[in-house]
Structure 1
């Protein structure tokens, strides 16, 4: 029996509400100190003017990041949701500097992804303490049950290029996902979520990691660089090209190897 498996009540809550928080930390305080030091080494590979969000899919080139994304404690939580057979395919850092006006517009992950069926989980790993003051992610509970909702072009300070149309959800229902450094949240690929600007004097940094059941196929005509890294169980479908585990610790992934479409994130 794995240590960090979710209880039946937690699993039921995830499927009912579309997200889960309040889990035991994956990393302790000393581990997070080291991870943040290592993150700065990775960030040194960014080009002038690039934001931390440009570090996406670098798990395909950086063994350090691959190891973070495949930490057994994280995989135990994900397995409780997706079952024994799943792969990891996406990762991206989101960092908001003190006083940053950057926001993440209300959106659904699955709207961007050429994946079918919708059977994916996003892990949000806090690299710093995250709360309402410094721009914690906000979600609309149970909104994943509505299916995909139309998005439109966004203006302003959002790091995303698309957002949900006004009136398609009730923002008054939003819940903030407050986390301590080293904790994670889990959310469904169709949950409505976003985050406000950082009005504090503290950084707000986090890593998103994407996992999908092996029954999920990527439309390679829309995402030709897609690679599936089988991290638990067996791949009984073989729908997707397999990724090769990187061997070098800190290596930048060329921009033309990003899985995400070019209109998903504004650099």
Structure 2
């Protein structure tokens, strides 16, 4: 189920897309939620679910979620026939958490060139304004990379956009039902508020780039790409090996979060 011409046009114009039919329903949604509980059971005492970053490299279950055919059909509609997976993480907000994700652009953090990356945001349970859904500034991806500054203490990120470069009155909240997803461009301005509800907000976030996108390995020497559709005619980046173990954690310790949503 690839995107329609109308949906592709909306994404290119606004930098995001939501309102898609849920990808995971029925037994597949149950398996997704149960798998999350199992993978979080591998965390150490000083870790939390948001420390599960790049575990698609060691967990076949997480990798298989990332290569769900319907997700790849959506991404192919935007990136073309040749693209790779390179990033995954869980972004989790506990009930009544005051932590915010400040307004930012993902591309500001990533040493990737050219900018041609799609992020897929999968909701494991319902995500809405009450529990801190992501907000975006439509069409802001057209402005290029905007200057950032150091973020405040209530932020989960190191940097945030300078004020006055956009209007928060234009923000759109991306509510997503359990098992559904949204898509957004790597340069769109986005962020989220704290979770004011009694519910958890759990998202599995996946990053895909077209094969012409090269990572600056001097800035990110641990970068690995996993070709998930088509052919890699450029071979700019190191190739990852698909994991075998169903649920496995990486050998490295938890990482400092640099980017979110």
Q: TM-score, normalised by structure 2?
A: 0.96
1:5 aligns with 2:5: no
Structure 2: unaligned runs, 5 residues or longer: none
The 1:202–1:29 alpha-carbon spacing in structure 2 relative to 1, beyond 3 Å, is farther
**Superposition deviation, residue 41 in structure 1:** 1.2
Residue 81 in structure 1 maps to residue 78 in structure 2: yes
Report the number of matched residues.
Answer: 260
Aligned partner of 1:94 in structure 2 is 91
Matched, 1:110 2:107: yes
How far apart are the structure 1 equivalents of 2:211 and 2:254? Answer: 22
1:249 aligns with 2:246: yes
Distance in 1 separating the partners of 2:134 and 2:64: 24
Query: Which of residues 237, 248, 257 is equivalent to 2:234?
Result: 237
Counterpart mapping for 1:188-199 below 5 A: 188-199=185-196
- Unpaired runs of 5+ residues, structure 1, are none
CA distance in 2, matches of 1:29, 1:101: 32
Give the Å deviation of 1:263: 6.0
Determine helix, strand or coil for the equivalent of 1:13.
Answer: helix
Q: Secondary structure at the match of 1:255?
A: coil
| Equivalent pair of 1:29/1:181 in contact (CA under 8 Å) | no
Residue pair 1:115, 1:216 contacting (<8 A) in 2 also: yes
Q: Structure 1 pair 128/85, CA: closer, same or farther in 2 (3 Å)?
A: same
- C-alpha deviations, 1:186-239, integer Å up to 9, x for none? 000000001110101111110110000000000000111111100000001010
The CA deviation string for residues 118-149 of structure 1, in whole angstroms up to 9 with x for no partner, is 00000000011000001000000000000001
Question: CA RMSD of the aligned region, Å?
Answer: 1.4
Contact 1:29 1:182 in 2 (8 A): no
C-alpha displacement at 1:265, in angstroms?
5.4
Shift, 1:255, TM fit: 3.2
1:214 aligns with 2:201: no
2:162 corresponds to 1:165: yes
1:155, CA displacement in angstroms? 1.5
